[in-house]
Amino acid sequence: IITAVKDSALSLKAAGYFGSDRDDKTGLNTLPATFPLTEAQQQLLALASKSPEGAFAYHLQAVLKLTGKLDTSRLVTAVDKTVQECTILQYAIDSDTLCHRLVAEHRPQLLVINLQHSDNNIAVATQLQELRYHAFDFNNEVACRFALLRENDNTAYLSVVTHHLLCDGVSLQIILSKVAQHYNNTTTEALAAPVDFSAYVKALDHYKESANYQQDKAFWLAQLAPSMPLQLPTNTAIATTTNYAVSVLTVELNEHTKGNIADLAKQQGCGQFATLLGLYIAWLSKLSQQSMITVGIPCSDRQLLPQADSAESSDSELVGYCTNILPICIDVANISSVRALIKTVQSELLTAFEHQHFPYSALANESLNLPNTLFNLDKVTALPAFTELQLNTMPSNSCYSQFQLSCNLTQFANSWSLTLEYQQDKFTYEQVNHWLSGLIGLFSNAVGTDELNSANCSLLDDVQIATLVTEQCERVDKPLCGDSCIVAFEYAATQYPDNIAITCDGQSLNYSQLNQRVNTFAHYLIEQGIGSGSLVAIALPRRAELIISLLAVLKTGAAFLPLDITFPQARIEYILADAQADLLLCDSFSDSSPIIASNKLPVLDIDTVVLTGLQSSNPDRIIAPLSTAYVIYTSGSTGQPKGVEINHQGLQNLLLAITVQPGIEPTDCWLAVTTIAFDIAMLELFSPLIVGANVLLASEQTCSDPYAITDLIAHFPVSIMQATPTLWRLIINAAPDCLAGIKVLCGGEPLDPALAQAVLSQQGDLWNMYGPTETTIWSAISHIQHSDDITIGSAIANTSLYVMAEDAQSPCLPLPIGVWGELWIGGLGLATGYFQQPVLTAERFVSHVFNRQSHQRLYKTGDRARRLLDGRIELQGRLDQQVKLNGHRIELSEIEHHLRLLFANQDVRVFIKPNNQGQPSLCAYSLEDDSLESVWSVSELRRVLSQSLPSYMVPESICWLTQWPTTPNGKLDTKALPLPTVAMQSAIVRIAPSCATEMSLLQHYLALLKVAVLGTQESFFDCGGNSVLAMQLVSRINLQFKVRVTVGDIFDYPSVAQLALRIDDLLSARAASTEQSQPQVTVVSDIVSGR
């Protein structure tokens, strides 16, 4: 009865029996002159005010293609009535008062445009884009435009463009429906008027004052507390300025895909929206390699209006900006299957809709990580009908967006289309198109029982699996030419007996001479019981006997352990004790070292060995491919260095690969500058010797001075050299034109574009080298021809590269192309393992199963990498605490271990931070505890640590903290850590220079250290100096004083006064003798190592 009475009353009112409460022509009598913008509208206005692109990001457009005899005058009238009826279309925006302002003029009217000679879709689309992105004058016009493009008498396009400030997507549908109704209704009968948007604003204000608002706020703050920014793989180079430009990819879903979505939803007892959103979240998680995924879901908030008693106030007719965004936050980490993910998403959606009224704009004012991706599903049941006209929708692709990625699915009748919008400065078309195929594959093939790490959820199709797995596994099947480098060297000696093999300190040996001396010494070692299974430690300076000893040890079938006696005594003693070598080779100089004297191993001074009467023929020893060639120690995460055991197969594979690419010829001369304590020295010492080329072995003094290195390049036919980027920079600074025609092998740390450009501009042939010690020196190389395109390229021969998830476990496939993960390496170069550390070996060297057909032993590098579409590999730092500094591989945890022992304090961290010169340096951080700062000055800390750690691992500075800075999520905020500063010791009385030498040196100190004042007694290293700056200081001193000091001298005589005495001694000695010998070297440069 009540319903019948209500319907009768509404019918009488509609017929006009109760009179009208508004002016039928304008509606001005009942509309408020002004009413405030919502908080969301205010935020949109602020964004629009920042830039035109920011405003365009919220321009909306709906387009209908009208085919048939269109009555243009009727359409003009229909638009006028719609504007009168949808009252928000009569308001401009007052940006000063942040209000809607009713305007009598400049209301939207239909603009009719006759297209001239435009019978193709491209011209129409261009015109529609121009209409969509014509700026609005918010203060003086209504942010809505109607236009009719007449292509011919039978075809036209109706365009409605508005800004989100005024309307949302639902509003556009209502507006088009109203236009159609008025076009079809030729009588004067009035349509039911929709509710005014001002009513929604009042309802929103009322909600903000309610208890529900506070409850909803608490809910969303809790939900979003663990949210993290979505970090999709972006372009290598991203614009630093905000860029809203987007591109669009659209694809139609086929019947199989639609059927699978429907079946999947039905089987889980969930809606299609939850099913699609769950798969979208799985896709984002795979691409970003993040477990916490937050996606924005646009929804209409019209239900906020109280349910009115009259049909004319139905919220479904409300035109205005009523869209809210629900941020759905899902932790994929603990979800194993597709079924569980979809059910979790369904549950989260239902809960979120219980709190859907809380404004997203209010969340934007909180310290939260809000989503930068949207997901939406539009179901269009029917298009508005225009009398005697056939209608079709027209795509209106966005050109601007505030979100880096948006996915919109549109269902119209039985047709489904998927559109991805992506920001152009972050992603490429090829990249997104590749990823889109993975999303479609997920929609097409996923079933509820699939594990999220299964092949069905890998985003890889059969072709991609063949490329990323099968082809990589097959790379390792190529046979080697020879089992060891010894066989190759002996062959080169027979082919090129008269070629110069070694040049060092003005002396040369040809291949015949070198092989004979190597053989003689090898026979001697064999007589001493050295052979297969033996380990021989080698601590020799850079002289011909170094190479002779290395080759001789290998010819016996034994392995060598290279040592740098400049390392701290405690470190070398640990290495010798851990390796348990059978013999230690030294010479008369190194024999006097206290490190050598204190060890308990048998020591052989090669300068005292009598080799007369021994054979000079090649020893008859069979060297097995998997027998150990050398054991080399690197920084360890446990606080002590760890040995890596490299076999002959791996070494030979690397040497042969490099002879092919970058390539070595018998006519080449390779300048070797790397200490043998670092594995890349093996490449520059051995690879020339297996092809008949010349090794130019630089002395310790030369390696310490970039100018001396350039002198060697100038005086010898150097054609190949490898070094770290740090050393290459110093060499280029010393002599920019010295690289012409030289193969520049650059590795050990990231190659930056500036250095690449500097090398290329000097006609250097630049090669970027990559590889950890555990896979035998280098595993990938890239020929760099453009400074803005730097990667590590592709794998060398018999080597495979895979980008895997950090938590990958067998069986699983590699990550999709373009996705960042951990680089795993397989092939002949893999080390036997860590010396006498089976647990660590099993942790880093794994036998991985990809699928039923493919499995391989792989090394987990810990390097962050991704594969590009062309197959090359790009690197981006480390996943753990290992870093590369000046070419050195450093485990920060090893430094922290020693600091904790000194401080008796667990609150210690070490990071790489820029120093006074803006260069990367090691900086220690610790919480102040019991006056640690007063006990441990920088100089005292460096002095004590230098007894256990090599100089390149000693922090340059330390910062004392009262508490650790944290992010809103409670994690350590490394970006908020204070930068290191040089703390000048106030207790030191600064002494002025007392002679010309001190005066000159002080100027060099001030220039390099970038400090204002300095005395002659203060240490170079306590004031911010490091090995890189020490090399620059050496070059300055040698140029000015015409002496040959080394980096070792800077370490031994670190103050201006001490170094001045050293220089004066060298000058006096040179004057007293025409046969001045080179100064003895106790410490060599840290940056020539290359690792």
pLDDT in tens, 405-434: 999 999 988 889 999 999 998 999 999 999
Tell me what pLDDT residue 1044 has. Answer: 84
Give phi and psi for 816, each to the nearest 5: -60, 160
What's the mean pLDDT in 258-280? 96
Largest CA distance in the chain: 131
- 772 domain-assigned: no
What's the mean pLDDT in 680-700? 96
Give phi and psi for 1034, each to the nearest 5: -60, -45
Do 71 and 210 fall within a single domain? no
Do 963 and 1055 fall within a single domain? no
pLDDT of 385 strictly over 60: yes
Q: How far apart are CA 856 and CA 804, in angstroms?
A: 13
Cβ-contact 743, 760 below 8 angstroms: no
- 819 domain-assigned: yes
What average pLDDT is seen over the chain?
87
pLDDT of 16 strictly over 50: no
Tell me what pLDDT residue 750 has. Answer: 86
Show which of 828, 853, 880 is a domain's final residue.
880
Do 182 and 226 fall within a single domain? no
Tell me what pLDDT residue 868 has. Answer: 95
Do 1001 and 874 fall within a single domain? no
Name 340's Cβ contacts closer than 8 Å, sequence gap at least 6: none
Do 205 and 307 fall within a single domain? yes
pLDDT of 969 strictly over 70: no
Tell me what pLDDT residue 1022 has. Answer: 79
Tell me what pLDDT residue 193 has. Answer: 56
Tell me what pLDDT residue 236 has. Answer: 64
The predicted model scores a pTM of: 0.81
Which structural domain range is residue 317 located in? 201-380+396-462
Q: How far apart are CA 817 and CA 441, in angstroms?
A: 15
Do 130 and 212 fall within a single domain? no
Domains in the chain: how many in total? 5
143: enclosing H helix or E strand? none
Tell me what pLDDT residue 310 has. Answer: 40
- Please write the tens of the pLDDT for every residue from 100-145: 999 988 789 999 998 876 557 778 888 999 999 999 999 999 999 9
pLDDT of 979 strictly over 90: no
- 341 domain-assigned: yes
Cβ-contact 726, 1032 below 8 angstroms: no
Tell me what pLDDT residue 882 has. Answer: 66
Do 835 and 892 fall within a single domain? no
- 713 domain-assigned: no
Show which of 834, 860, 880 is a domain's final residue.
880
- 1005 domain-assigned: yes
What's the mean pLDDT in 967-992? 65
Do 850 and 937 fall within a single domain? no
- 698 domain-assigned: no
Do 43 and 140 fall within a single domain? yes
Do 183 and 273 fall within a single domain? no
Do 258 and 163 fall within a single domain? no
Show which of 819, 845, 880 is a domain's final residue.
880
Q: DSSP letters along 31-56, please?
A: S-SEEEPPHHHHHHHHHHHH-HHHHH
Taking Cα atoms as reference points, which of 674, 846, 852 lies closest to residue 748? 674
Do 308 and 223 fall within a single domain? yes
